[in-house]
Amino acid sequence: MPKKLPFLIAAVALVTAGAFLYFHYFRRGNARTLQTLAFFRNPASRSDLMMKAGTRCGDAPFIFPTNGLVGFIWDDSFRAGHRHQGIDIFAGTEPGITPVNAAYPGYLTRLGDWKSSVIVRVPDDPLNPGRQIWVYYTHMADQNGTSYISSQFPPGTSEVFIEAGTLLGYQGNYSGDPNNPVGVHLHVSIVKNDVNGNFKNELDIRNTYDPSNYFNMPLNANTNKDTVPLCNQGTTNE
């Protein structure tokens, strides 16, 4: 075998793998990403894609938790190997302006070191009665970690019952790195219960549920390739 042949085979394999990753991860959602970027540049230009806080899509069990455009959805990929665990809702405002409300009743916890996050335990999953789930809300702080979470829920809050629509805080841009803030938005995910009745690690998509049926919106990137999600059915505002 010529000495260069193994290198050529390896090069072809790398190119093939790169092409697969590009088409699988980066082409999916490309049109949605372009619309989201256009919204960032001029939020007023895409008011047709905005969802309103309190909207219930048809017979969805959850209400929409904040004003904004759903720019990234469940299982979207920002880079090779990354799988997004929830949905990102961008209001197009400055940090600390746009309210975040609870999408569903439950028992709210805020761990002592959580600057921008709360999690709500739902003992009885409305889509699967008898199963416990958790609804996680994050990025409610400015880039330096100054919290925008409601003063009703200080660090260390545990198992406080809240109703749907309760004010949780305000959209922020906290990333954990003051020099690299995220865009102002709310990240929401639906987290699985572990065997001890606690929430699993939200950073792994395998520990979360597809939120589509909870909101009655096309929020799964595997089936919604390019569209900015809006209600599937008629809406009511609460």
- Name the range with the highest mean pLDDT among 6-15, 24-33, 92-101, 223-232: 92-101
**Cβ atoms of 51 and 68 closer than 8 Å:** yes
Q: How many CB atoms lie within 10 A of CB 102?
A: 21
Where is average pLDDT lowest: 115-129, 152-166, 222-236? 222-236
Q: What is the pLDDT of residue 6?
A: 45
Burial class of residue 97 (count of CB atoms within 10 Å of its CB; 0-12, 13-18, 19+): middle
Q: What is the pLDDT of residue 40?
A: 87
pTM of the model: 0.86
- What CATH superfamily classification does 5-237 receive? Glucose Permease (Domain IIA) (2.70.70.10)
Q: What is the pLDDT of residue 3?
A: 52
Res 23 pLDDT > 90: no
What average pLDDT does the chain have?
87
- Among left, alpha and beta (phi > 0; psi -120 to 50; other), residue 138 is beta
Q: What is the pLDDT of residues 34-69, one digit of tens each?
A: 888 899 899 988 889 999 999 999 999 999 999 999
Q: What is the pLDDT of residues 130-156, one digit of tens each?
A: 999 999 999 999 999 999 999 999 999
Q: What is the pLDDT of residue 30?
A: 78
Q: What is the pLDDT of residues 182-211, one digit of tens each?
A: 999 999 999 999 999 999 999 999 999 999
Closest Cα to residue 169, out of 116, 216, 219?
116
pLDDT-derived band at 27, boundaries 50, 70, 90: very low
From CA 172, how far away is CA 139, in angstroms rounded? Answer: 5
